[in-house]
Chain A
Amino acid sequence: MKTYEKVIEKVILLCAVAATLSVALITVFIFQSGLPVMADYGVFDFIAGTTWKPTNGQYGIFPLIAGTLSVTLGALAIGIPTGIACAVFLAEILPPKPARLFKSAIELLAGIPSVVYGFFGLVVLVPAIRNYILPVFQIFDPDITTTGFSILAGAVILAIMILPTIVSMSENAIAAVPAEYKEASLALGANKRETITKVLIPAAKSGIISSVILGMGRAIGETMAVLLITGNMAVIPGSVLDSVATLTGTIAMEMSYASPTHQQALFAVGIVLFVIIMLLNLTAQLTVKRLGGEGK
């Protein structure tokens, strides 16, 4: 009976290690498949090269980095204020019952598959930008044109997609601020608005920051939505109405027809993406750890 229990314990430990093993395998295979071409081409030329023309053997991914960065920053610019506002609304303004309803609505937003977001962007947002937003831009710059497939389209859709991450984590952080802080602030004569902006949000800072970092990670890693609406042109963009190609979108689109070397180059793009995401996730975890004590 005892050996039986021991065996079971070992099996369970093995299962618990599965996730760690997966991460190791993923790292090994991505790097092994992508590093050779990166080394051949030169790491600097690969990352800083401004021409991505795989059919010509030119693998400069700077345009892809610029594409990912511009779409992500756009999404954050829209998503951060909206997300924090929703979190405050949930934690401090709405009564518990409607708050629960609002929360499940946000969860629903997180459950919609990314390809559906992409499709919605394709049939609604892209034409809307072409027909309604472009004329507004043309008032200031008559030469500007757009197909609608643009940074703006990607940023708006990504902003909606990262909202659930930002809202739920920020809301938790705000709700975790001890009631004494709030009571003390109110007792000193501050009104509710002042308490929210000057006491609660600063006290919940670490949670809010890590929610933003995780949201950023989601935006950078998102594939299908941006693939359908950013236009996939590997050029350095000049305005928010320009088409861009992202790291993720390029991998997804070109993998199906890539030649062997091209495929390796796409794996190298994967390495860059992998490293960026790892750094972001690490930062998020460290932020929680370092600033975590403050709220307590």
Chain B
Amino acid sequence: MSGVNTDRLKRKKSAANGVFYGVIGLLAALTLACLIIIIGFILVKGLGNINWEFLSQEPRRMGREGGIFSVIVGTIWVTLVSIVIATPIGIASAIYFTEYSKEGRLVKVIRFFTEVLAGIPSIIFGLFGFAFFVVFLGMGWSVISGGLTLSMMILPTLTRATEESLKTVPMSYREGSLSLGATKWQTIVKVVLPCCRPGILTGLILGIGRAIGETAAIMLTVGGSLRLPSSLFDSTRTMAVHLYMLASEGLSEEKTYATAALLIIIVLIINTAANLIGKKLGTL
């Protein structure tokens, strides 16, 4: 090969490299920019409108005035119900997968359907919740209908997070406990589960995040009442649904931005918490 040719080849290659890395860098920067712009825009427009009044007063005139106190309470109720139902079932499922099951056909089927459940879109959950909890079981549009629907949605998240952390507990812990005469269940409760507290907590936090952000399923099962719920069978409204109502009906720009900003803040807190716990888990 003559010197001129390798020179040309080199130049061609370095030009191709430049284009390649340029495009990749640009697209990655664009992705980061999207995140910063979306979060920044909503916080800048909304933070100024969040004040004590907004948080503590009940909405008036369909949310045009006043605050979102009853909406916050509604969000907490629905989230709490879903977590209370889904957490024990999720943890138990994970225990079954890691501690009890032998890799057989039944386990494969159960595992497969847990994956399937995770992939079902929220509007389908909404339709189901409406047909089953609201109409068939006669619970009406209520906190309990929404909470039950949501618990089905977050179940796979909880199961997966718990399972991942159960897998990290060394076999020797279990063997040690069993050889000291503890039963299998005692070993799980007293030795294995305490080691996974951070992992379970991470799953829980992610589940809460999903519950708070969920809209479509909630709309069809909880309804949209702005009144403060007094029992599990009352209709209420969550922050995400409230944001949708305000945005789609153009009721009040100021309240809409404030609600969106509050949701973003909650998401930021949840993500930070999950990350911090994850880091702790890594150093253990």
Binding site for B on A (CB under 8 A): 1, 4-5, 8-9, 11-13, 15-20, 22-23, 25-26, 29-30, 32-33, 81-82, 85-86, 88-90, 93, 102, 104-109, 111-120, 122, 124, 160, 163, 167, 191-193, 197, 214, 217, 220-224, 227-228, 248, 251-252, 255-256, 266-267, 270, 273-274, 277-278, 281, 285
Report how far A251 CA is from B241 CA in the complex, Å.
Answer: 15
Binds A, one of B58-66, B115-123, B190-198: B115-123
Q: A5 with B42: in contact, given A33-B131, A81-B27, A116-B243 (CB under 8 Å)?
A: no
- The distance from the CB of A213 to the nearest CB of chain B, in whole angstroms, is 10
Contact of B93 among A18, A160, A281 (CB under 8 A): A18
Tell me the interface secondary structure of chain B in the complex.
helix
Contact of B128 among A16, A25, A89 (CB under 8 A): A25
Report how far A3 CA is from B23 CA in the complex, Å.
Answer: 64
Report how far A296 CA is from B122 CA in the complex, Å.
Answer: 35
Q: A120 with B127: in contact, given A8-B185, A281-B116 (CB under 8 Å)?
A: no
Report how far A255 CA is from B130 CA in the complex, Å.
Answer: 10
B171 contacts chain A at the CB level, 8 A cutoff: no
Q: Are B110 and A20 in contact (CB under 8 A)?
A: yes
How many residues in B have their beta carbons less than 8 Å from beta carbons of A? 80
B28 contacts chain A at the CB level, 8 A cutoff: yes
28 A-B pairs (CB sep. < 8 Å): A12-B95, A12-B96, A13-B96, A15-B88, A19-B110, A19-B117, A20-B114, A26-B125, A30-B127, A33-B131, A89-B24, A109-B35, A112-B267, A113-B213, A115-B243, A116-B213, A120-B38, A122-B247, A191-B17, A193-B16, A214-B119, A221-B121, A223-B122, A228-B244, A252-B220, A255-B127, A255-B130, A281-B116
Q: Are B119 and A104 in contact (CB under 8 A)?
A: no
Report how far A102 CA is from B29 CA in the complex, Å.
Answer: 10
- The distance from the CB of B239 to the nearest CB of chain A, in whole angstroms, is 9
- The distance from the CB of B209 to the nearest CB of chain A, in whole angstroms, is 6
A113 cross-chain contacts in B, Cβ below 8 A = 212-215, 240, 263, 267
B82 cross-chain contacts in A, Cβ below 8 A = none
Q: A270 with B123: in contact, given A20-B113, A116-B42 (CB under 8 Å)?
A: yes
- The distance from the CB of B41 to the nearest CB of chain A, in whole angstroms, is 7
